[in-house]
Amino acid sequence: MERTNDSTLTEFVLVGLSAHPKLQTVFFVLVLWMYLIILLGNGVLISVIIYDSHLHTPMYFFLCNLSFVDICYTSSSVPLILDNFLTVRKRVSFSGCMLQMFLSFAMGATECVLLGMMALDRYVAICYPLRYPVIMSKNTYVPMAVGSWAIGLVDSVVQTSLAMQLLFCANNVINHFVCEILAILKLACADISINVIGMAGSNLIVLVIPLLVISISYIFIATTILRIPSTEGKRKAFSTCSAHLTVVIIFYGTIFFMYAKPKSKSSVGADNQDIIEALISLFYGVMTPMLNPLIYSLRNKDVKAAVKNITG
């Protein structure tokens, strides 16, 4: 096939479920329904946190940022996915594809770092409750959130810039619903070793380090909880971090399931395998943001009380 670079490549074709037209309608309705729940659930959670002064604490400030990230993440990809379901093969411009990839990557990376910051907040709250207001002051938790956004954006700029410099073959068909970075790298004709190194560095910064922070924080949290003499005290202490721990397990568990397993470059039924991976990625991309507000609201008396005050 004829090679072409990013200056002459004008568009990509997103295959999605074009080989299964009957499924497209079903998935369109399902994803649209989930997206509306995401907008409603996270929108209500953000409004409640802003409206109720009792929720103006570091934990809810981070949660507000997390909900906003989820809205931005899904809004950068779900409209393209829904449009894909309505067409046989969705054509997207090269620049549009790179922009969508940049936004999705930035929001995903930001969420990873935010979850790490939230673990640190829970660590201080449980292990140093008397010093918590001093340690987690506004001068501390605001820069932590800003730093999470900055890391995500810078990481995405680097990865997107490296992808834009690649040489692409005449084959511009992406076996995915969106412009996902790994799916795009598969189309490159040039050596992608720099991209692989960049992705490894990215995984270390936004996946491994936050996960280490989360793991170490919860080791200290568990040790502190076990030293609490009363069962009721242990239950109350654990309830303050159970929602965050649930979100972390779902978020990181799905990420490592998708990306940590080895990828085969060429095998029988590779296209079908790509579609299966795309479906897993699709439901990860909408399921986690949909569950987050439900997990935090259903397991949190303060949030439920604030919702009742607003609706009442």
**Sequence ranges of the domains in the chain:** 11-255+271-311
Comparing 2-16, 34-48, 119-133, which segment has the lowest mean pLDDT?
A: 2-16
Look at residue 7 and tell me whether its pLDDT is greater than 70.
Answer: no
> Predicted confidence band at 299 (pLDDT cuts at 50, 70, 90)?
low
Q: Which regions of the chain does DSSP assign to beta strands (E)?
A: 3-5, 11-14, 90-93, 167-169, 173-174
Element of type H or E holding 178? none
- The three-state secondary structure class of 215 is helix
Q: Is 186 exposed, middle or buried (0-12, 13-18, 19+ CB in 10 A)?
A: middle
Look at residue 169 and tell me whether its pLDDT is greater than 80.
Answer: no
Tell which wins on pLDDT, 43 or 54: 43
CA 144 to CA 68: how far, in whole Å? 16
Question: How many Å is the Cα radius of gyration of the chain?
Answer: 21
Q: Which residue in 3, 11, 23, 10 sits closest to 279, CA to CA? A: 23
Q: Return the DSSP state at 19.
A: T
Q: Is 255 exposed, middle or buried (0-12, 13-18, 19+ CB in 10 A)?
A: middle
The distance from CA 215 to its chain's CA centroid, rounded to whole angstroms, is 19
> Predicted confidence band at 294 (pLDDT cuts at 50, 70, 90)?
confident
Comparing 88-102, 113-127, 243-257, which segment has the lowest mean pLDDT?
A: 243-257
Look at residue 88 and tell me whether its pLDDT is greater than 50.
Answer: yes
Look at residue 260 and tell me whether its pLDDT is greater than 70.
Answer: no
CA 211 to CA 112: how far, in whole Å? 8
CA 201 to CA 207: how far, in whole Å? 10
Q: Which residue's entry shows tokens 């039924």?
A: 269
> Predicted confidence band at 6 (pLDDT cuts at 50, 70, 90)?
very low
Q: Looking at mean pLDDT, say which of 73-87, 110-124, 271-285 comes out highest.
A: 110-124
Mean pLDDT value of segment 168-196 = 83
> Predicted confidence band at 268 (pLDDT cuts at 50, 70, 90)?
very low
Query: pLDDT > 70: what percent of the chain?
Result: 86
Tell which wins on pLDDT, 21 or 116: 116
- The three-state secondary structure class of 90 is strand
Tell which wins on pLDDT, 235 or 301: 235
Look at residue 139 and tell me whether its pLDDT is greater than 60.
Answer: yes
Residues in the chain, how many?
Answer: 312
CATH architecture of the domain covering 11-255+271-311 = Up-down Bundle (1.20)
b/e map of 129-155 (b: 16 or more CB within 10 Å)?
eeebeeebeeeebeebbeebbebbbeb
Mean pLDDT value of segment 102-130 = 93
- As given in the structure block, the two tokens for residue 288 are 């986690």
Tell which wins on pLDDT, 252 or 201: 201
Comparing 16-20, 162-166, 286-290, which segment has the lowest mean pLDDT?
A: 16-20
> Predicted confidence band at 40 (pLDDT cuts at 50, 70, 90)?
very high
- As given in the structure block, the two tokens for residue 113 are 């770092």
CA 238 to CA 225: how far, in whole Å? 7
> Predicted confidence band at 309 (pLDDT cuts at 50, 70, 90)?
confident
How many helices, marked H, and strands, marked E, lie in the chain? 12, 5
Is there a contact between 237 and 108 (Cβ–Cβ < 8 Å)? no
Mean pLDDT value of segment 183-197 = 86
- The three-state secondary structure class of 175 is coil
Look at residue 5 and tell me whether its pLDDT is greater than 50.
Answer: no
